[in-house]
Structure 1
Amino acid sequence: MADPRPPATPRRTLGMPDLRALETFVAVCEANSMVLAAERLGLSQSAVSQAIKSLEEDLGLQLMDREVRPARPTHAGHVLHEVAARLLSQARAAMDQVRASARQELAQIRLGCVDSFAATVGPKLIRAMAGQARQIQMWSGLTPTLAGQMLARELDMVICTDAGVQDPRVVQRLLFSESWVAVYPKDHPVPPLHTLQALSAAAGALPLIRYSQRSVIGQQIERYLRHVGVQAPRCYEFDATDPLLSLVASGLGWALSTPLCLWQSRQYLDAVQVMPLPPARLGQRHFFLLSREGEWAGLDDDVVRVTREVIRHDTAPAIRHCLSALPASALSCPDEESL
């Protein structure tokens, strides 16, 4: 049997007015004229009228008495005017607070760097950036850890040696590149390494001292060794350059490293000899800046620029002076052929 009662009328869900519509309404009330309010807001009169009608529809109330000229607020309109004026004032204060907070964030940068960069280029980067940011807090560590900290927003920017972060919001920019070099004990006879095949033979009976597989540099060097066909038993492995070079300096083995790593541990350079390698695919490691797109108002661009300037004018000349056997191309920026 059919229900004789008429179908229920759907209950209307009232919308929440937006701040722009409230701003328009407050302007009309204070100007006592839609025409003047439109001029002050830079809107057409029809746009102002439509905004008022939309507010009335959202609230389900008549806000303006259009039977009088000029139109005046109704009782509900007067109440809304008072409430909306306070709300707009609070909204403006909130936006000012957000902007101030953003400026404060720009003044305090949490920068993560791999150890070799932090110990060599890092101090000069901080000094050069001091006029643009009140405080740069620098962390150092391994690339995977730093990348994870950035994705968790524990760091603002990261300088690392692997651009494999899979996040569309993260911008990855190449800073500079450096070539692998071979390091042997000081008194060990080593002919010039004209071919990659001579790399392992030059070491003779010395074992290869490796960076550990926990580090990106260790993984990259292993890929390079496989590429050039060098096979060496696993004997000694270290996360850092200092213990690696100390064993080479003691005559206990040879190693592959980079100019920046060697410069970080330069106290051992008098006890080792550094040899450049023939160019090869996978023969370099690359440094990248990772930052979130659109969050730093160009400050990340400044980090890129200043880093390259420090490399070009300070770090690379110092390394070339100490390691004269290395070609200028051993340390290079993407916007120049060499440093």
Structure 2
Amino acid sequence: MASDVPALLSHRVPDLGALELLIAVARHGSLGRAARDVGISQPAASSRIRSMERQLGLALLDRSPRGSRLTDAGALVTDWARRVVEAAEAFDAGAQALRDRRDSRLRVAASMTIAEYLLPGWLIALRAERPDTAVSLLAGNSAAVARRLLTGEADLGFVEGLSVPEGLDGTVIAHDRLVVVVAPSHAWARRRTPLTPQELAGTPLILREHGSGTRQVLDAALAVHGGLAQPLLELSSTTAVKGAAESGAGPCVLSELALGEELSSRRLVKIPIAGVRLRRQLRAVWPSGHRPTGPARDLLSLTQSGRSGD
């Protein structure tokens, strides 16, 4: 029994290249000149016309030593072909306009450490490649980054947590280590042995807020050692945490990326810790099933070109 499902239009209608060739034949009255016009050889042009005639079941050209002339059917098909090609040109122009609009801006959401210490260099490199793209950066904790991606407020995100947030896809772009630091006046700065996980867990710390990647990693690492004590302070930015620790308020745990200046000037002192792994993966993330395109794809490529090892 014959199928009620119609054949796909693409199987019944010649492709754009064949239609453009037919229009060129009508314009030049010569298959050879039409072939040169569209950039193919005359044998290839002749083969394409014959293939189109077989596909349509119509004779389109009368061929003679004096040239090629459209048949009546060929003239009618050429008129239709012009409309199809014009529609395709409008389609292409519209798609290009959408790409131009997409490429004119890039909205990036990043967790605090990445936003402050890694993204500036990547964005400078991106500007060299795409000087006409306007970039906006929204900084927040990893949970806020995920929300902005899922609500369409950002095109690409960067997070520091233990895993890819639900509803997002991602790739590892770098690795980072959390370190314990105190002011030089703190008693831990004079100790000769590494901290134990139990000591760290049992000490009130200056902490980042829930939802930050730093807090997620620290919570998970110390969960098997009794969990974190009640925080001494809970602050929403890395800068605030460092400032509180420098003032002598107490110990804190932060990304090593964020502490270069403070450690080199000894405004803060790094305290060794044994028996617990405080490393984490830094990720680029985007909504599931929507791989980055345009400027977002280029920025992702820049982050991966300089990716550090584990």
TM-score, normalised to structure 1's length?
Answer: 0.65
Amino acid at match of 2:138: W
Is 1:109 the equivalent of 2:106? yes
Aligned identity (percent) is 18
Q: CA deviation at 1:216?
A: 2.3
Matches of 1:130 and 1:295 in 2, distance apart? Answer: 13
Structure 2 CA distance for partners of 1:240 and 1:63, relative to 1, 3 Å: same
How is 1:20-169 mapped onto 2 (pairs within 5 angstroms)? 20-33=17-30, 37=34, 40-42=39-41, 43=44, 45-54=46-55, 56-57=56-57, 62=58, 64=60, 72-92=69-89, 94-96=91-93, 98-99=95-96, 101-102=98-99, 105-134=102-131, 135-150=134-149, 153-162=152-161, 164=164
SS of 2:186's partner is: coil
Structure 2 CA distance for partners of 1:154 and 1:75, relative to 1, 3 Å: farther
SS of 2:139's partner is: strand
Q: CA deviation at 1:181?
A: 1.3
Q: Which residue of 2 aligns with 1:302?
A: 302
Matches of 1:249 and 1:207 in 2, distance apart? Answer: 16
Structure 2 CA distance for partners of 1:234 and 1:269, relative to 1, 3 Å: farther
For 1:53-80, what per-residue CA distance to the aligned partner results, in whole angstroms no more than 9, with x for missing partners? 32x35xxxx4636598866434453233
Matches of 1:295 and 1:245 in 2, distance apart? Answer: 37
Matches of 1:202 and 1:220 in 2, distance apart? Answer: 14
Matches of 2:5 and 2:135 in 1, distance apart? Answer: 56
Q: CA deviation at 1:114?
A: 1.3
Q: Which residue of 2 aligns with 1:314?
A: none
Kept in 1, the 8 Å contact 2:173–2:282? The answer is yes
Kept in 1, the 8 Å contact 2:217–2:278? The answer is no
SS of 1:110's partner is: strand
SS of 1:140's partner is: strand
TM-score, normalised to structure 2's length?
Answer: 0.70
Kept in 2, the 8 Å contact 1:65–1:73? The answer is yes
Q: Give the superposed CA RMSD.
A: 4.3
Q: Which residue of 2 aligns with 1:327?
A: none
Matches of 1:288 and 1:257 in 2, distance apart? Answer: 17
Q: CA deviation at 1:107?
A: 4.9
Structure 2 CA distance for partners of 1:246 and 1:105, relative to 1, 3 Å: same
How is 1:201-280 mapped onto 2 (pairs within 5 angstroms)? 201=199, 207-226=204-223, 229=225, 231-235=227-231, 236-249=233-246, 251-262=248-259, 273-278=268-273
Kept in 1, the 8 Å contact 2:143–2:211? The answer is no
Amino acid at match of 1:212: E
Matches of 1:182 and 1:209 in 2, distance apart? Answer: 11
Matches of 1:253 and 1:230 in 2, distance apart? Answer: 20
Kept in 2, the 8 Å contact 1:110–1:136? The answer is yes
SS of 2:222's partner is: helix
SS of 1:130's partner is: helix
Matches of 2:279 and 2:250 in 1, distance apart? Answer: 22
Q: Which residue of 2 aligns with 1:282?
A: 277
Q: CA deviation at 1:275?
A: 1.6
Amino acid at match of 2:51: Q
Kept in 2, the 8 Å contact 1:241–1:262? The answer is no
Q: CA deviation at 1:278?
A: 4.3
Q: CA deviation at 1:185?
A: 4.3
SS of 1:285's partner is: strand
| Structure 1 unaligned regions, length at least 5 | 1-9, 309-332
| Structure 2 unaligned regions, length at least 5 | none
Q: CA deviation at 1:137?
A: 1.7
Q: CA deviation at 1:136?
A: 2.0
Structure 2 CA distance for partners of 1:13 and 1:215, relative to 1, 3 Å: closer
For 1:22-43, what per-residue CA distance to the aligned partner results, in whole angstroms no more than 9, with x for missing partners? 2243234334455665675443
Structure 2 CA distance for partners of 1:109 and 1:93, relative to 1, 3 Å: same
Matches of 1:11 and 1:202 in 2, distance apart? Answer: 69
Matches of 2:6 and 2:114 in 1, distance apart? Answer: 62
Amino acid at match of 2:270: M
Kept in 2, the 8 Å contact 1:112–1:140? The answer is yes
Structure 2 CA distance for partners of 1:15 and 1:111, relative to 1, 3 Å: closer
Q: CA deviation at 1:218?
A: 1.0
Is 1:184 the equivalent of 2:179? no
